Structure 1
Amino acid sequence: MKGWVLVTIGAVCILIGGVWALQGMGVIGGSFMTDSPTWLVIGLVVAVAGLVAIIVGARGLRRPA
């Protein structure tokens, strides 16, 4: 069960981090985050953390119970 939770949280983090990074780059507009390098960095960090969570969660899914 723990593996699926990490994979789900990781996927959500990648999506949110991606949106924040794109807003920080100015690709997605209409927010206070638009064209802000701070949000680009925050978004990339959150996306990488999500990727790590998916990798850890997937490893937990492959182990026999």
Structure 2
Amino acid sequence: MRGWFRLTVGLVAVVVGALWTVLGLGYVEGSVMSDERIWAVVGSALVLVGLVALWLGMRARRR
């Protein structure tokens, strides 16, 4: 069970971060987050954090 938590958190962070990024860039309408640039920045940062967590999770699974 090594690394599963990091993999799960990383995957969720990448998906949520990508959603926040497209909302912040205005590609999806109908939300209070739509077309707010701060959400594009926060979403991009969350995607990077998620990718790091995925990488760490994969390293833990290989050991």
**Would the TM-score normalized by the shorter structure come out above 0.5?**
yes
TM-score, normalised by the number of residues in structure 1: 0.92
Q: In structure 2, list runs of 5 or more residues that go unmatched.
A: none
Deviation at 1:2, TM superposition (A): 4.1
The separation in 2 between residues aligned to 1:2 and 1:42, in whole angstroms, is: 29
Match of 2:42 in 1: 42
- 1:1-51 residue CA offsets vs partner (Å, 9 max, x unmatched): 340110011000000000000000001111111111100000001111000
Which amino acid is 2:28 matched to? I
**Considering only aligned residues, what root-mean-square deviation do their CA atoms show, in Å?**
0.8
Which amino acid is 1:62 matched to? R
Q: In structure 1, list runs of 5 or more residues that go unmatched.
A: none
Match of 2:33 in 1: 33
1:8-23 to 2 correspondences below 5 Å: 8-23=8-23
Give identity over the alignment, percent.
40
TM-score, normalised by the number of residues in structure 2: 0.95
Aligned residues: 63
Which amino acid is 2:36 matched to? S
